[in-house]
Structure 1
Amino acid sequence: MDPSSLIPEAIGISVQPIWLIVLSIITFSVHLLLMNAVFGGTAIVFFHSISGGTEISRSVSKKLPTVLALAINAGVPPLLFLQAVYGQFSYVSSILMAVFWLAVIGVLITGYYGLYFHNYRYNKLSSSARKFLMLAVLCMISYIGFMLSNKMTLMLRPDVWPEYFSDQAGFILNLGDPVLIPRFFHFVVSALAVGGLFVALIGRSRGDQDFIDSGMKWFSRSTLVNILMGIWFFMALPRDVMLIFMGQNMLATILLVAGFVLTFGMLHAGFTKNVVLATAATVLIVPVMATMRHLVRQEYLAPYFTLNTAPVSEQLQPLVLFIVSIILGGLGIAYMLKLMLKAERS
């Protein structure tokens, strides 16, 4: 069966795709930083609970529910931009894995509640109960990340969509794709690094060197391991996709070099315990990686769809409304965070 015959008609968009792609990369970068802080922070709380680092465990767990709320809200715009531009691929992948994808909502709500419960019942829970609860939350967040990786890779593989005709119940996953596992672990290890940076930033705001030492240890070691994960991920890509980073696409090649430079900057900052430099390098490398992710997606889908063939209606009003809304929303969130931090200090 010709896979292209299974792809729905392209969904029309209101503005030139470049606008949506740029906004997608920006908003996804914000979401990724926040979500990695939650994922990595939860893992660190769990491991410190096992090793007896109760002060770090207690302090970080107080921040996690708020950061998760921000991460969830920040995750909506990039998903909507993805569906606006690549909806004919995104919706199909959601249908193929419908059962697992719909379960993400319940798992997310349960994990969110678990973080709140762990925070507000911290002193009343036994040590073993806290460990079990954080392990459960960690597994839930891992499930969400793994399902997102499945969805994002499955939408790039129309060649495996015919599996639907032998399994129409919504239980199809992209487990046969050699890219899936290294991609997932690349993001998992990245989350541990960002989680460590999160701990170090808490320590810097408190003036606590123990927090900084512990956080930067997580940050530097995870970044070192993630170099291997990134190489594994890169080598697992199809040859034609890999080659765009080897000179066939100048932007992709420049981004790959920039990624290496920033990675070594992160390592230097981690081992020298320079929290400011580590933060700057991390904030810079995330949009670089997000742009590379877009170029990979574009190359995967090139045989079926290109941005210059997307139907455009040239209506700027929805884009203007979104930009105004996100600015006002951002100001509102910043004000609420200011009030929350003021209340915590008082």
Structure 2
Amino acid sequence: MDPSALIPEAIGISVPPVWPVVLSIITLSVHLLLMNAVFGGTVIVFVHSLSGGSAVSRSMSRRLPTLLALAINAGVPPLLFLQAVYGQFSYVSSILMAVFWLAVIAALMIGYYGLYYHNFRYERLGVSGRRLVMTVVLCLIVYTGFMFSNKMTLMLRPEVWSGYFSDPDGYLLNLHDPVLIPRFMHFAVSALAVGGLTVAFFGRRKGDNDSVDTGMKWFRRSTLANVLMGVWFLMSLPKDVMLIFMGRNMAATVLFCAGLVLLLAMLHAAFTRNVTFAAVATVLIVPVMATMRHLVRQKYLSPYFSLDTAPVSGQWQPFLLFVISLAVGSLCVAYMLRLMSRAERS
């Protein structure tokens, strides 16, 4: 079957694609930083809970519910932009794996409650209770991340969508894609690095050297491990996609080189225990990686769709309303976080 016959008609975009794409990269970068902090922070708290817990894990557990709430909300804009630009691919992948995709909502809600429960019942839970709660929460977060990887890779492969005709009940996953596991592992290990950096960052603010030492140790080891994960991910890509980073596409090649420079900066900061430099390098590398991700998506879908030919209606009002709402909402969130920070210090 011709895969293009399975792709719905392109959804019109209200403004030129460059605008939603740029905003998608910016908002996705914010979401990734927050979500990685949650994922990595949860792993660190879980590992510490295996030995009974520590002051480091106790401090981090207080911040995880807030970080997860921010990550979930920050994840809405990039998902909406994805639907707006690549809706004919994104909606289909959601339908093909509908059961697993809808279960993500329940997983996040239960995981969110579990983080609150772990924080407020920390002493009463005891060692075994904390282990159990964090095991459940970590499994739910891993499930969520793995399902997102499934969805984002499944939408790039219309050639496997015909599996719907033998499995029309919403249980189709992208498990046979050689890119799926290395892609997920690359993001998961990077989350450990960001989680460690988050622990170190908050520890530095409080003058807690134990948190700084623990966090930078996680950051250093995870960043080193992620070099291997990144190579695995790159080599698993189809050859024509991989080669865009090897000179076939100038923008992709420049971004790849910029990513390597920032990676070296992260490693330097990790070994010198420079939390500020590590945070700056990490914040800079995330949008670079998000842009590379966008170029990979474009290359995958190039046989079926191009942004240059996407229908544009020229209706700017909804876009401007979103931008204004995003700016006002961001200011409100920043103000609330400032109030919360003041309350913690008092």
Q: What TM-score, normalized to structure 1? A: 0.99
The corresponding residue for 2:112 is 112
Please, which moves more after superposition, 13-22 or 314-323?
A: 314-323
Residues in 2 aligned to 1:52 and 1:213: alpha-carbon distance in whole angstroms: 19
Q: Does 1:327 align with 2:327?
A: yes
Match of 2:92 in 1: 92
* Equivalent in the alignment of 1:121: 121
- 2:106 counterpart letter in structure 1: G
Partner residue, 2:299: 299
What is the percent sequence identity of the aligned residues?
72
Q: Displacement of 1:315 after TM fit? A: 1.1
Amino acid at match of 1:40: G
**2:47 aligned partner:** 47
Question: Could you tell me how far apart the structure 2 residues matched to 1:52 and 1:295 are?
Answer: 45
Q: Distance in 2 between matches of 1:86 and 1:123?
A: 47
Q: What does residue 219 of structure 1 align with?
A: 219
Deviations 1:161-183 (A, max 9, x none): 00000000110000000000000
Provide the residue aligned with 1:180 in structure 2: 180
Counterpart Cα distance in 1 of 2:212 and 2:189: 19
8 Å CA contact retained: 2:52, 2:127: no
In structure 2, C-alpha distance between the alignment counterparts of 1:201 and 1:259, rounded to whole Å: 22
Deviation at 1:51, TM superposition (A): 3.2
Question: d(CA) in 2 for partners of 1:242 and 1:284?
Answer: 22
Matched residue, 1:308: 308
Residue 239 of structure 1 is matched in structure 2 by 239
How far did 1:250 drift?
0.3
> Using the alignment, how far apart are the partners of 2:109 and 2:166 within structure 1?
32
Pair 1:281-2:289 in alignment: no
2:66 corresponds to which residue?
A: 66
Cα deviation, 1:30-79, whole Å, max 9, x if unaligned, reads: 00000000000000001112234510111000000001000000000000
Q: Is the 8 A contact 2:194 2:219 kept in 1?
A: yes
Q: In 2, Cα distance between the equivalents of 1:336 and 1:139? A: 30
Alpha-carbon distance in 2 for matches of 1:310, 1:145: 30
1:342 correspondence with 2:321: no
Residue matched to 1:149: 149
* 1:52–1:126 Cα change, 3 Å: closer
Cα distance in 2, alignment partners of residues 46 and 163 from structure 1: 38
Report the more deviating stretch, 174-183 or 317-326. Answer: 317-326
- Note the C-alpha offset of 1:322: 0.9
- Alpha-carbon RMSD across the aligned residues, in angstroms, is 0.6
1:209 CA drift (Å): 1.1
Quick one: which amino acid aligns to residue 39 of structure 2? F
Q: TM-score, normalised by structure 2?
A: 0.99
Structure 1, gaps ≥5 residues long: none
Q: Which amino acid aligns with 2:307?
A: L
Structure 1's consecutive aligned runs of 4 or more residues displaced over 6 angstroms after TM superposition are none
Map of 1:9 onto structure 2 = 9
Q: Distance in 2 between matches of 1:49 and 1:28?
A: 31
Structure 1 residue aligned with 2:170? 170
CA distance in 2, matches of 1:30, 1:116: 23
Query: Could you say which residue in structure 2 is the equivalent of 1:139?
Result: 139
Query: What is the total number of aligned residue pairs between the two structures?
Result: 346
